[in-house]
Amino acid sequence: MTQKREDIIERPLGWRGFAADWSSDQRAFKTASWGKAMMWIFLLSDTFIFSCFLLSYMTVRMSTTAPWPNPSEVFALTIGGAPVPLLLIAIMTFVLISSSGTMAMAVNLGYRRDRLKAASLMLATAAFGATFVGMQAFEWTKLIMEGVRPWGNPWGAAQFGSSFFMITGFHGTHVTIGVIFLLALARKMLRGDFDQERRGFFTSRKGRYEIVEIMGLYWHFVDLVWVFIFALFYLW
């Protein structure tokens, strides 16, 4: 009994103890590939950035004394002479959420080594992403023509413009990068690079399609972030 107490006392405490516990976990680090581990670390850091943006937006929204523009009016589309609130945003959300489904199926088929179907679904995911970015560009153009700028807008609080362009622009950049990588990976899959182990970027060991899962992690993260942006920016 005394020996056990001595062992507990000798173990490092606090952050040193936490680091010692994790560094001694052989399974957590020996079974995970470096690519997947690095993607998780990147997504964790990106989570902090998006969290800071959204928390800053909520802080500005609640602290400003000027009236905040009504999203239902600002982001409405006029159809048949009548404004339809949030129609474009609803379509954008549907498109991006649908892309998560095609990406998930691509990952599944990738591990089954069905490269043609997996590549086709990745191209479909890229098409969804490009459609989303195109609609976002239309939304930006519409608001800019109506007088919205990073330093002001015609409907009230000046912080609205800076918050809108910063948050949606940063997310749109992520989607654009994802589309580029999806197209590159789909091309490599269609050429059979993963089966022939052809040298180049993103080519893993022969017969392994883990890069598809890593790309799926990134894409699902981008979709999840949009859910929070949609809820906090467009519905609040």
- Residue percentage of the chain with pLDDT more than 90: 45
pLDDT value at position 30?
A: 57
Residue 5 confidence (pLDDT): 46
What is the average pLDDT across 213-224?
94
**How does pLDDT run across 61-86, given as a tens digit for each residue?**
888 888 888 888 888 888 877 888 88
Sign of CA dihedral 61, 133, 226, 169: negative
Output 14 or 153, whichever has higher pLDDT: 153
Residue 230 has pLDDT above 50, yes or no: yes
Are 201 and 98 in contact, with CB atoms under 8 Å apart? no
Whole-model pTM? 0.81
pLDDT at 201 over 70: no
Q: Which residues on adjacent β-strands are paired with residue 82?
A: 79
**What own/partner pairs with CB < 8 Å and gap ≥ 24 does 12-19 have?**
none
The CA–CA distances, whole Å, from 13 to 25, 75, 121, 175 equal 17, 53, 49, 42
In the chain, the N- to C-terminal Cα span, in Å, equals: 59
pLDDT digits (tens, 9 = 90+) for 86-115: 889 999 999 999 999 999 999 998 888 888
pLDDT tens digits, 182-194: 999 998 888 877 7
The pLDDT of residue 153 is 85
The domains of the chain, with CATH numbers, are 1-31 (no CATH), 35-234 (1.20.120.80)
